[in-house]
Structure 1
């Protein structure tokens, strides 16, 4: 007879330090899970306080308030008759741990601390917590007074243990433990655990979901079992977007998968499994059975509860969930959805009046505007689907209790403001592109010229110093040329904040606007922007996205969102338009930078992801760029690497003040969280440069020997006569 068990996992949009809101979302997920017949509910990592509390984890108040909320959850009548796996931080013997608290019917069964902590990239868990690096070891934890009054327990086990019900065994992993070489689920499987839970705070990066899904699938494929994955979803107050995808996988096959991007605060995913399918699968794995003898058993905490109906009871309405393929978004869709959801969370939680964007007519600000358009589309779609929370949030933002939009443009007309801040160096084409795009997506657009403001600042300098700077194209120096460009860029930042504060007022609306920046990850890496220019803003949704990906996104959005004007943005030459346009000269970004955006992406990935210094980068690029389609010489590659590191180094200080950006690329140069490197270093990298020059010399010497030989061999292969004097020894 089958042993059917229904299991629930969830994506929750938790917010750091929003204890009562987090509590309510947890309770809602439990209610939904029970309504679907689930006997086990698994939630995200640190769901009670929010994953991204950062240095607030050093405050004792946070732990006391977490226990306060946990007590209210535990004592709530909706939490009866279901096993709950809930994440919260706990202090044990004066040491802070990232824990899972597993309970049933107002009794805490086990506190399971995280064994392996995430401590690279965006994660600093070792700064806040201590790993429980004692596998299969447990101690006694004495409960706080307020919890004792609810559970009538004095103490509970804390440590690396498992839960045993009347019909199965459950083991818990937490996030990073899935990615470690000795993942706990392997030892648990060998000790008879059939249900593995994993509660995560995993963030979105472009093209990375498949890696996570393969690991989750592999976790149950090797030893058999059901793997139940829960994750945070949304922006919990920082640069990351947690991308959900809660899932349930049985013996390596996906049964259920939640959404990666949505505006739903609570999403519960369930599946019904047959425990006998796990046992049959394991009976075929003789190697695993042979290994069990060498494994020390886990301490099991027994709970007098049967998750499956009695074996003799047959209910034809209960049937196992069928496997299904994994669902992935294309990178263009990820750009459209991830930053859009992140912006919505930031907007509704900051309770401001909307967004302001300096819309230049270039592809970067265009991409930012289209992401806001995507956000507006998601808002309308969620409202049409009956999401009352989104509708309430929108009405609160617009201060309109009856607002019920049917079009994304209607939402944009209340939340989105743009401005083209032109000068005499601006072109008619960029001005028209900005105007047409704003009209298509419904933004409130202001078209202005700021020449008088620029002239006033230059005149002020001339009066104060007696010297007037002029552009290089008219005979000025490079110093004058750069200063005159920076004046325009910085004045746009000042005007942006002026307009962000006052534009809603001009329409009789309350509140200010969040200013959006639009510097892409490649320009940030190269430092191709002015410090404190219009890239200095409140938020930057594209600051972690490459120029190449942005172009692909705009090309996709042109057809997907039916915005024909986007084609003109794709075809236009990227230009800052900060220098005068003449018959013989138009400023070009790639010419100014001395490298292409494609090359910048390669430099960025090698520097950050592959951890290459200048010499290692040159060696890797030589093997790639010395052959088609590049066919670069060793000298050219060496020069490009040196130039990149020079400009990266002299502009590194700009990263200390960059606008908080949506994190989407592993090679993001964000100084504040992700890329911890000094901002004052020798830009010449003298030793590395000498080493590169030495390798170039060796390559050239070898080529001088091999090239004649190669030409002779080519002639022979083609049947041509080779004179004696051309033969190479």
Structure 2
């Protein structure tokens, strides 16, 4: 139901109903509750007036129907006795001279509260004011309902005692369609899970609009939103309903019901409440809105047991930086590439430079940097020969990367130069007394710094600007030589994760290049990721593969995303990774690499503290001037100890 990582499983139901038959309807509702319990749901939401059906019309003025609805609610209370699940149903609630269209909240045999509809539609096909009063026409906090005194009003939130992040706010159908929905105030007062009991009828294009409305409200309020709508068995006198239930979280629709189902339907998925709270803590605009707009809400508490939920129903994207569908991915690549180009163009214009210098290795990062630079020079109407591409073969350079470098630079018509670093590195080994047979960090870093010296000095000589090639994933892991490839005059890839670099290069190859140049880029895409600082193997192939040393970049990008975006703990990230990568990596492998990630992330902050400028392209950035301010001497102990305790 609710687990220790902040996930609460929720359901939205559309029962098969008979209009004005509460006895039949309550049985369908109870059957769906049992199904939701089997799914370990903590909360289930039913449609508007689901006890009676929405389209009863003037029958809502009949005492027989109203009493039958009350009896059905009593039956539901009896059914719920001993059950943890929070049940939210729609019912007409009549007392004194009023009848209200309400959401009734029930758990463990008790009515926790009754929330009346605020906005009563009375236009086009809707005539609800004929039967129902709006919430503000009754000022008392309680009513006598089903023979007991229960909380009543639009100012009620339902707060879990077992899991403090779970606070439920409720609105009824039209409330969401108003200019300022009640859920706005509910969220600003702490509600994280918003429920809507609805009977929205179908019209052409209304389903898409409805989904957008739910999605946008969940995004605006940094909340989860569960929308349950009446199904096809409502009256079809003039209106048709579809059972369009929706579960959204912070602007993302997690689950939608198939519309026009003939049988009762139920959708169930998890909401990540800790993620929502993390987003709210970081969003100063949300906090400022709370000060201005929050209302006084009563909180009604309830208790629930916690559940393990070892496997999640919701899809955990193993590649959160990379859209899964091709169209969205291509659009993401186009947008990022244009941001990179615009950033570099501004820097070139500001400095008055007419030349750029890039070290080209035949790898993905330097290839992307070159493609960005080429496009930049194109839009600035500067010739490609003003881009000085320098390949600097060393002890580990292989024929494949070397040849791809030459072919690419020639195909792009850049000013190409080759400068071997072998002799200079050997001389430097001699100067510092290092044995070149010892293939340690000194052996590697001498080469990286020699290359950077060549690039910087060339830039000084020609009046150019050194374009950096390192990416976000390398910065997170500190996989760069301090004052070597770590340094440049402008780092165009600084906030592009490694998992996305590959797709960007592929996108440029497919959308921007001729067939022959694209073929070179495709071969670069197929080359293993390597700094090529250690000698090749006996067959002349790359011996030093980055992911064999620091771990798979798809895992590290996953860890980085959830740590940075949501402040998730290592245990929660490992839990998510086990769900996302269960077909690819064992729990032990995930535990091994997440420990490497945290150890390196903390120990390598000193490199990030003095990064060159570079364009921010997404929500995750490690710039010390903007998104990530962390002391270089912070201890990683509490994170590493938590990882050690992962079972």
Tell me the TM-score normalised to structure 2 length.
0.46
